[in-house]
Structure 1
Amino acid sequence: MTAELWDVSRLRFEETDPPALTAAQRARMDHRWAAAVTANPTLFDGPVVALAGFERDGAGGLSVSWTRLTYRYRVLRGLPDAPAVAALFVAVLQPCDDGRLLVGRMSSTTSAPGRWQPPGGTLEPPGEGAALDLDVFRLHVARELAEETGSDTAADALVPGPVVLDDRGSLGFLFVAPPRPACELRERYAQLARDEIASGVDPEFDRVVLIGSSSELRALPGPLASYLELAAGRFFGA
């Protein structure tokens, strides 16, 4: 499956029940999760928004069904006869004032070590009974931007961009942050990394770079998030 990039003018979200698992499926899931945590003790079974389904109407409308799960459900991928589990995620394109774009490389303690991507992450669910909407997305992506790069941007300053479907069937909502000076972006990330390392925490990004073109992006050493080249191409006007 290849990634896709969509322009969406109307969004609708509907919460649905979690997928039902048989006892055998749940046992295999728990076994796989325990093995994953043994291999990477930083993994945690926190709450996430999972994608239950979506439908496009061909005129800019997108209807999304979602449900509340935890991270361990991700290990269902690849299990025979298990329900398909995809994610809803957010990402933010952070430009600098000279037109370049910030991307980061995921550290060895994350779920995708070595992968280059924009700041962002899997969406966390709103409070029980609360609706999922773009305001929830903005708050989450502002927090991810601060936690991964040290840049504190107000949620209402983030502009919604296109929606992406990645190569694993997960649905992502892109936002664009206001431009910042390149030196400020570097200094804020460096200070964040120093503070986290001093406190015994590995930064989520072990490196950030500013890229000025799609060709510079393709030249980065290591894998790219499946949607990153499409998103960067749109940003650079390709």
Structure 2
Amino acid sequence: MPRIRFSSRELRLAFDGSSVEFPPAYSTKVEKYWAKINHEGRFFNGPVLSASSIPNENEDSAVHMQLTDYAHYLYAAQDDVNEFDCRAVFSAAVVLTCDNYILLGQMSSHTSAPSQIQCPGGGIELDSDGQLDAKLCCQREVIEELGPDFGEKLERYRPLCMKSGGDLSTVGIFYALRLDMTAEQAQYSFSHHRAALCAAGERPEFDCLHAVKFERRVVAEFVQTNREQVVDYLAPIFLSGWPDVFEATASP
């Protein structure tokens, strides 16, 4: 079960340029697995920032990161022994419409997590100046996955929580994002964005967008009904952490 730490303070990130180092035998395992799963060229072996340490509950320190790659991330995700865990750091948004619906995306079949239902977001990346900004990374991912309207209709955007542990040992930095658009408008905008991507020969990250009424009972029913598809952090954020997520998203 993932651990969730709610906080309204921005989480600091630190990267000293170092890379994760593996013994040759482990690197060989990663390379063989990558060749096996990527023989059709579905994936790109790009850089991944992995957490080497994260702050404890009452600490005000940073998430320290090292550089690895996507091949390591995918191998580590299926390695039951957890020989060299990859705690990939990502940012994601709990998106709430002005008529109180949570927006959740369902991953496309070409991704590494087909049919998974999750919050919009993606891996933390260095910007062109070599700086780290989780908030900007999150906003960029929301725009890329849902469409440009979702970057222009922001009413509120604040830190929400940090997720650690869980099925993939990833570290998630979450923001509460409230939109000045209804669920119907959001669905319409997303469908047009997705159609435009397909027309341009690109493959959208999300097949569809779920709009779930922002009521604890309704969210619980959605999680239970889709328990085989929902990502592991949804229940602890929206159900166990309901008072915190409600305050961060619904309060002025």
The interval holding the TM-score normalised by the smaller chain is 0.7 to 0.9
CA contact (8 A) 1:68 1:125 kept: no
Number of equivalenced pairs: 230
**Cα deviations by residue, 1:185-227 (Å, 9 ceiling, x for unpaired):** 0111100111122223331110111101322422237421111
Counterpart of 1:106, as a letter, is M
How big is the alpha-carbon RMSD for the aligned residues of Structure 1 and Structure 2? 2.5
CA contact (8 A) 1:7 1:60 kept: no
Q: 1:220 to 1:82 in 2, by over 3 A?
A: closer
CA distance in 1, matches of 2:141, 2:116: 16
Q: 1:12 to 1:42 in 2, by over 3 A?
A: same
Which of 128, 140, 160 is residue 143 of structure 1 equivalent to?
140
CA distance in 1, matches of 2:195, 2:222: 26
- Residue 65 of structure 2: aligned partner: 66
Counterpart of 1:148, as a letter, is E
Structure 1: gaps spanning 5 or more residues: none
Secondary structure of 1:113's counterpart equals coil
Q: How big is the shift at 1:166?
A: 4.1
CA distance in 2, matches of 1:192, 1:166: 33
CA distance in 1, matches of 2:165, 2:92: 12
Counterpart of 2:219, as a letter, is S
CA distance in 2, matches of 1:91, 1:199: 26
Counterpart of 1:47, as a letter, is P
CA distance in 1, matches of 2:176, 2:123: 17
- Residue 173 of structure 2: aligned partner: 173
- Residue 18 of structure 1: aligned partner: 19
Structure 2: gaps spanning 5 or more residues: 248-252
Q: 1:10 to 1:123 in 2, by over 3 A?
A: closer
- Residue 32 of structure 1: aligned partner: 33
CA contact (8 A) 2:34 2:75 kept: no
CA contact (8 A) 1:104 1:209 kept: yes
Counterpart of 2:226, as a letter, is L
Q: How big is the shift at 1:124?
A: 1.7
- Residue 152 of structure 1: aligned partner: 150
CA distance in 1, matches of 2:122, 2:82: 27
CA contact (8 A) 1:91 1:172 kept: yes
Which of 228, 231, 251 is residue 225 of structure 1 equivalent to?
231
Identity %: 21
Q: 1:11 to 1:236 in 2, by over 3 A?
A: closer
CA contact (8 A) 1:146 1:152 kept: yes
Secondary structure of 1:158's counterpart equals strand
